[in-house]
A and B are shown apart, each in its own frame.
Chain A
Amino acid sequence: MGTIVSILVLVLFLTAILTGGYNKKFLQRVQGSNMWDWLTTVDHKKIGIMYLGAGGFFFLIGGLEALLIRVQLFYPNNDFIVGDTFNQLLTMHGTTMIFFVAMPLLIGFMNVAVPLQIGARDVAFPFLNALSFWLFLGGGIMLNLGWLFGGAADAGWTSYVPIASNQFSPGPGVDYYVLGLQISGIGTLIGGINFLVTIINMRAPGMTFLRLPLFTWTTFVTSALILFAFPPLTVGLLLIMFDRIFGSHFFDAAMGGNSLIWQHLFWIFGHPEVYIVILPAFGIISEVISTFSKKRLFGYNSMVFATILIGFLGFMVWAHHMFTVGMGPVANAIFAVATMSIAVPTGIKIFNWLFTMWGGRLQFTTAMKFAVGFIPTFVMGGVTGVMLASPPADYQYHDSYFVVAHFHYVLIGGTVFGVLAGVYYWWPRMFGHKLNERLGNVHFWLFFIGFHLTFLIQHWLGLYGMPRRVFTYQAADGLTWINQVSTVGAVMMGVATLVFLYNVVYSRKSATAASAERDPWDGRTLEWAIPCPTPEYNFAQLPKVRGLDAWWMEKMAGNKELEPAEPLQPIHMPSSSYRPILMSLGFFVSGLGFIFRTIEVGVLGLVMVFLLMFTRSFEQDHGYHIEVDQIKEAEKGA
C-alpha cells in the first residue's frame, strides 16, 4: 500500500512539473517571489549564505544532542536517556557535527569568499554549486528523519560493522546514516571539483598562485582532499548498503567477509576528512590575524607549503585510528611516525601566526578574539594528538574520554573557533552590517571558558578510565564531579550560542543603511574592494592584481579603487535553475525507497534524477547579459 501511495505521489509530481503547474498565473506569481529566487539561485553568494544557514541549523540540533548527552552523564546511574536512545544521541551528535555542521559551514565560507578573493564573477560551475548545496541539505534532512520515523542511526559516527549490520542494528537507523551520507557526499564531491576548477581557471589577471589569499589556498588543498577522500566513503557506504539491503556479504565473517575492509575504507576517508574540516579554518584564522594585526601574513610561502604538506600527509596516516586492531608492530610504527611528522607543518603554521601578531598593530575585535583563542586551544589538541600517535600509549588511551577530549580540542578549538572568527569577520560582507561587538565579546568569553571547562577535564576523565560512548558510570568510580564540571561547561557553551543568536537578531534590527560599509575592517583582500551589498556580478570590471594582499597594496599606493583589467562591457550571467533542487528531491525519494526496502521507489527516484540530467543536456540556455548602463546604474547606487 505504502509503495503504491509513494508511486502515485511521484507520478502526480512529475505530471505537475511536465504540464507546468495548475495555471499560468500561479506559476508567474511563484516565479516572481523571493522564495523562488533563493530556491533556484546559482549565485555563489546566496548559496554560501544558505550553506551557513543550514549548517547553523544543524549546529543547533547537534548542540542540543550534546547537551542531552551531558545531562544524562550529570549523575552516576542516571536514567534520563539510556541504552539505545543514548546510542542514537551520540551517533547523531558526531555524524551531524562532522558532516552537516563543520563541512557546510566551511563550504559556506568558501562560497562567500573564494570567488571574491580571486577576483571572479562566480564559481566555475554555478549550476553544480547549487546542486551541491541541495544534495547536502537533502542528505542532512534524511539523516535526521530517523528521529521521526523508526529510530536514528545508533552505530557510532564511525558506523563500524558488524555493529552496523542487520544483525545488530535491525532498525532503519543505519540505513538513514548510509543513504543520508551517500547523498550529501555526492554533493560534497561535486563541490570539491567545482572549487578546484574555479581556483585554477577563474583567477583575475595577475592573481598568480603565490598571490592567492591563504583562505583560498586552504580551500584549494581542501578541495583536493575532498576529491580523493570522498570516493572511499562512497564505496564503503555502498558496500554497507549492499550488505544491509541486498544481502551481500562484504562484512559478514560467517560468509567469508571481512569487517576490517570497512574500517580501512572509512578511515582512508576519515583521516583526510579531519584535515578537510581544519584546513579552511586555518585559512580563516590566517586572514583574520593578518587583517587585525595590520600586517602581511608572516611566512606566506611557508604557510602555503605547510598547507600542501599537511594535505599530502593526511592521506598517509589513516591506520592510526586502528592501532589496537592488531596490524602488527611494523605497520603501527610506520603510521605512528607518519602521524607525528604532521606536527611539523602544523607547528610552522602556529609560529607564523604568532610572528604575524608580533609587532603588529593589534585590534581585538570578536573575530580576532576567536582567532587568538584558537591558537593555544588548537596547540593543546595537537599535543594530545602526538601523544595518541604513539601506539603503546594509544593502547591505554584508546576509546577513552582522553580521545574525546583530544578531538573536541581540535574540532571545536580548531574548526568551530575558526568558523566563528569567520562569521564575525565576513558578516558585514554577507549582510551589510557588523555583528554587535559587545555581545560578541560576551559570546566569545562564555564560549571559550565553557569549552575549556567541558573538555580540559575530560582528559583526566579518560585517564581515570571512563570509556567513551557509555551512557552511565557508578558512584564508586569517583568520576561524578568531573562529569558534573564538564556538564556545567557544556551548558555555558549553550548559553553562549543563545547570546550569539540574540546578537544576530539584535544586530539586524539596529542596522541602518549607513552600516553597509564596503571595507569595515580595513581589509587586505579583494572581497573588501567592491561595493556593499555585493552586486550580483561581483566585479563590474575584473581587477588587475599586482601582488599579495591586492586591495591593501592599492590602498597603500593611494588608490581608492582597484585598477580594472578590462573595459566596462556587458557581463555574462548564468540563469537560475529549478533543476538542482528537483534532482536532490529525486535522490531523496530514492533514498527513502531504499531505507524502507521499497526498491521500486528507490529506482524511480534515480530515474527522476537521470531524466533531469538527460533533459538538461538538451536544454540550450546560455544565460543572460547585464548591459553596461545597468552596471553603471548599480555601481552609482552603491
Chain B
Amino acid sequence: MGAGNHATATTGLPAHPEKATFEGKNKVLGFWLFLGAETVLFACLFGTYLALKNSHLGGPTTQDLFEIPLVAAATIILLTSSLTSVLAVLEMKRNHLGRMQFWFGVTVLLGLAFLGLEIYEFVHYVHEGHTFTSSAFGSAFYALVGTHGSHVLFGTVWITTLMVQAAKRGLNLDMAPKFYVASLYWHFVDVVWVFIFTVVYLMGKVG
C-alpha cells in the first residue's frame, strides 16, 4: 500500500505515476467527484445570474459594460494556460522535473495575467457605477465572475506551492498525484470560464 511512496526520482516513475499508488488512485477519483460538486455550484451561480442579469435598475446594462476585445484576450490567456498545464503534466510523466516546472511556471504566470486583466476590468466597471451593491444584476455578476476569479487565484497559489515542494523533493509517486489533480482543477476552472465567456459576455452583448 505505502510501498510505492519510497520510489524516488532516480528510480524513475511508472507509466501513470498519478495512479500508481493506492493513495494516488483515491486522490484522483476523489478529485473528479469534487469537480462534480463544483460543477453544480457554478451551475447554481449561472442560474442566479441568468435570472437577475436584466435587473440593472437603470444602471449600465450588459451591452453598455462589456468590451469583447479585453475579455477575448483574457479568454485566450486562460485557454493557453490550460495547454501549458497539459505540457507540464506530459513532462511530469516523462520524469523531466525541470521542464515540468517551467511549464507549470508559465501556467501560473498566465493565470496571474488573467487575474490582472480581470481586476482591471472590475475597477473599470466600478467607475461606471456597476458594483456588487448597485443592483441585483451587479450582485449576480460579481458573485459568478468573482467566484471564478477566486478559483483562479487559489489555483495559482496551489500550483506554486506544489512547485516549491517539487523543487525541494524532486518528482516521486507522492508528488505526481498532487500535480495531476492540480492540473485537473486548472482545466475545470478554464472550462467554467468558457461558459462565462459565452453566457455572460457574448450573450450579454447580443441579448
* Contact residues, B36-53 vs A (CB, 8 A): 36-38, 40-41, 44-45, 47-48, 51-52
A252 within 8 A of B: yes
* Contact residues, A142-192 vs B (CB, 8 A): 189
Q: How far is the CB of B201 from chain A (nearest CB, A)?
A: 20
Q: How far is the CA of A230 from the CA of B169 in the complex (A)?
A: 37
A239 within 8 A of B: yes
Q: Which of A125, A247, A248, A620 has the most CB of B within 10 A?
A: A248
Interface size on B, residues (CB 8 A): 39
Residues of B within 8 A of A236 (CB): 44
Q: Is there an interface contact between B41 and A234, defined as CB atoms closer than 8 Å?
A: yes
A242-267 vs B: 1/0 string, CB under 8 Å? 11001111101001111001001100
Given A193-B34, A247-B133 in contact, is the A232-B139 Cβ separation under 8 Å? no
Q: How far is the CA of A243 from the CA of B40 in the complex (A)?
A: 21
Q: Is there an interface contact between B143 and A248, defined as CB atoms closer than 8 Å?
A: yes
Residues of A within 8 A of B47 (CB): 261, 264
Q: Is there an interface contact between A197 and B30, defined as CB atoms closer than 8 Å?
A: yes
Interface size on A, residues (CB 8 A): 44
Given A200-B29, A228-B37 in contact, is the A235-B137 Cβ separation under 8 Å? no
Residues of A within 8 A of B2 (CB): 572, 622-623, 625
Q: Is there an interface contact between A124 and B133, defined as CB atoms closer than 8 Å?
A: no
Judged by DSSP, the binding face of B is helix
Q: Is there an interface contact between A618 and B165, defined as CB atoms closer than 8 Å?
A: yes
Q: How far is the CB of A104 from chain B (nearest CB, A)?
A: 20
Q: Is there an interface contact between A194 and B30, defined as CB atoms closer than 8 Å?
A: yes
A491 within 8 A of B: no
Of all chain B residues, the one with the shortest Cβ separation from A260 is B51
Question: Out of A197, A250, A268, A620, which one reaches B33, CB within 8 Å?
Answer: A197
A201 within 8 A of B: yes
Q: Is there an interface contact between B30 and A256, defined as CB atoms closer than 8 Å?
A: no
Q: Is there an interface contact between A250 and B139, defined as CB atoms closer than 8 Å?
A: yes
Q: Is there an interface contact between B37 and A201, defined as CB atoms closer than 8 Å?
A: no
Q: How far is the CB of A96 from chain B (nearest CB, A)?
A: 25
Given A125-B26, A193-B33, A228-B36 in contact, is the A248-B133 Cβ separation under 8 Å? yes
Q: Is there an interface contact between B33 and A249, defined as CB atoms closer than 8 Å?
A: no
Of all chain A residues, the one with the shortest Cβ separation from B40 is A231
Q: Is there an interface contact between A250 and B140, defined as CB atoms closer than 8 Å?
A: yes
Q: Is there an interface contact between B51 and A258, defined as CB atoms closer than 8 Å?
A: yes
Of all chain B residues, the one with the shortest Cβ separation from A196 is B33
A81 within 8 A of B: no
Residues of A within 8 A of B85 (CB): none
A22 within 8 A of B: no
Of all chain B residues, the one with the shortest Cβ separation from A234 is B41
Q: Is there an interface contact between B133 and A256, defined as CB atoms closer than 8 Å?
A: no
Q: Which 7 A-B pairs have the closest CB atoms?
A: A256-B55, A248-B139, A256-B136, A231-B41, A235-B44, A231-B40, A257-B136
Q: Contact residues of A with B, CB < 8 Å?
A: 124-125, 189, 193-194, 196-197, 200-202, 227-228, 230-232, 234-236, 238-239, 242-243, 246-250, 252, 255-258, 261, 264-265, 268, 572, 614, 617-618, 620, 622-623, 625
